[in-house]
Amino acid sequence: MEFETEAIHVGDEPNLEVGGTGDINTPIHLSSTFARREVDKPTGGYAYSRTDNPTRHALESKLAAIEGAKHGIAFSSGLAAETSLFLALLKAGDNIVAFDDLYGGTKRLLDKVMAKFGVSVTYVDATNSSNVRKAMRKNTRLVWLETPTNPLLKLCDIRAISSIAHEHGAVVGVDNTFATPYFQRPLELSADVSVYSTTKYINGHSDSIGGAIMLSDETLYEKIKFLQNAAGTLLSAFDSYLVMRGIKTLPLRMREHGLNAVKVAEFLESQSAVSKVRYPGLESHPQHELAKRQMNGFGGMITFEVKGGRRAAMKFLESLRLVSLAEDLGGVKSLAEHPASMTHSEIPRKAREELGISEALIRLSVGLENADDIIMDLKATLKAVGR
């Protein structure tokens, strides 16, 4: 089946057997536990909803299908998914080689939590694959990537880096939240694990917090499932239903996000009040050719810098009308935020500036409103900032 068909049908097959109800949508199984006739035989394989739940199981089947993976695992947040992966793979003395531009919450997890367990992290500019090769050590167990990155929208060559990592016996994990499986499928590019904050595009409606891991390695899958049950990092049945609902329109939404983002990025690039625009779909993006080769579309995320530094950025963000000032992304509504003050504020200022996260940088999640209306709001706001 094609992506659009899998997104709608997998996990939502109506039960037309005797006693079945024929639900077109998988029901929300809100039961915490499941009655059984025999002591040692859970009914339908379900015993307790922390361990497994019919609604979550249906979602996990759908997640695996859209990724082209054998397994999907749904978590209570994107960070819960990352934590479970890290704990399943790593022990004291192990090393992670990671992209230097990462979501602020991931850096916090690596630097302030995993470090306490004796796991070291080597940050590199993974836009150049040779930097990853130089950073690999005998104790490197994981290469952790985002592409495009948050917030600078840098890209790295997943296939090339996976080859390097596998030469050294390391696992490759890719946070694919920005691209989604619709625009990029890391496992097909030789990565081992795809990780998502389903809070973002996969759910797509800004009404559920969740995370996911998709993979095909059986041994690693069993380790992660054990940790999910042991640590209780599961996604609730209700949130599982919301994410399933969101996935059904994921292809349609991503296509429209991409179309709108191209128009908005081209508009911003034409504005004298804007000093720099980063969007993989623009020819001005330094890795535009890699984006065309590695992705099926360029996504809905844009970052740009306004002239006038922090003061101008603050005025811009606080003057928006249609676009909301909020930290989230990937929903139907357009959202903007100031990474240095919000999502990446815990990164020391010097480190942020070295990465390129300036005080003038704005991250824009382009929604599904009419592109002309989004541009009208941005245009009026830029005009107000210039006064």
Q: For the chain, give the longest Cα–Cα distance.
A: 75
> Tell me, what DSSP letter sits at residue 69?
-
Tokens of 289: 């050719």
What is the C-alpha separation between 360 and 314, in angstroms, rounded? Answer: 8
Cis peptide upstream of residue 348 (ω within 30 degrees of 0): no
Using only C-alpha atoms, the chain has a radius of gyration, in whole angstroms, of 21
State the Cα–Cα distance between residues 233 and 227, nearest whole angstrom.
8
Round to whole Å and give the CA distance between 260 and 300. Answer: 7
360, HSE (Cβ side, Cα atoms, 13 Å): 14
DSSP code of 270? T
- Give the integer Cα–Cα distance in Å for 300 and 249: 15
Whether the link from the prior residue into 54 is cis, omega within 30° of 0, is no
The three-class DSSP label of residue 226 is helix
Helix, strand or coil for residue 58?
A: helix
Give the catalytic positions in this structure. Answer: 50, 103, 175, 200
How many residues can be counted in the chain? Answer: 387
Q: Is 213 helix (H, G, I), strand (E, B) or coil?
A: strand
Under a CB-based contact definition with an 8 Å cutoff, are residues 244 and 62 in contact? Answer: yes
DSSP H helices, 127-171, are 129-135, 158-167
φ, ψ of residue 84 to 5 degrees: the values are -65, -40
- Which residues make Cβ contacts (< 8 Å) with residue 337, sequence separation at least 6? 317, 325, 326, 327, 343, 362, 363
